[in-house]
Amino acid sequence: QCCGSVLLRTGFVDDAIEQMNGNLKDIEGKTIVTSCSGCYKTLKEDYKKYLGVDLKVIHISQLLEQLIKENKINLKGNKDLKVTYHDSCHLGRHAGEYEAPRNVIQSISNLVEMENNKENARCCGSGGGVKSAYGELSNSIAQLRIKEAEDTDADLMVSACPFCKLNLSQNSDNLEILDLSEFVFEHLDSIDLEKDNDDGEIQ
């Protein structure tokens, strides 16, 4: 089931609330891990705003950061690899998460920042229904962001949002673009999820 984010962003608030209420029976009281920045923002903030429900939500970048820190996943580093990171609007400006994806990237490679980053990062052009309703505008916005990434001389760009990854990839002729999960998977060495934390429990 959709979290309701798209309905909210396109102005169908009543329909979004109906969708959210329908989801609650399956997700309330559970820890939710999502790889979608829009879902993360919606589940973490909008469910509380519209339904008064405080859900426990973790973005995949935060989970990966934790697992790396706890040595539950070990990665093959390559500090000669230059990677630039695209802050998605939902995960960055909306939800305030800038560091977890960067920490994951820096555990593998050399991070090079674009001129506009973090709270000043440019949009990829796909959010808020723009890609569906205004395709040419969406593409032109994505191409501006691709140019900015290419100016860093990075070997590839990583994003932590599937919408960003899709739109940027569709508008990039030369620069490779990966989702953060794909980037980690490509550099995965070993996994040991049974390793205990200080409190003896896997979080």
**pLDDT of res. 165:** 96
Q: What mean pLDDT comes out for the span 59-88?
A: 97
Domain range annotation of the chain: 5-61, 74-188
Q: Which residue has the tokens 């940027």?
A: 168
DSSP string, 12-26: -HHHHHHHHHHHHHH
**pLDDT of res. 203:** 35
Q: Which residues contact 97 (CB under 8 A, 6 or more apart)?
A: 40, 59, 61, 62, 91
Quick: pLDDT tens for 84-132. Answer: 999 999 999 999 999 999 999 999 999 999 999 999 999 999 987 888 8
**pLDDT of res. 93:** 94
Look up the pTM and report it.
Answer: 0.90
Mean pLDDT for all residues in the chain: 93
Q: Kindly state the percentage of the chain with pLDDT values over 70.
A: 96
Q: Which CATH architecture has domain 74-188?
A: 3-Layer(aba) Sandwich (3.40)
Please state whether beta strands 156-159 and 176-179 pair in parallel, antiparallel, or not at all (unpaired): parallel
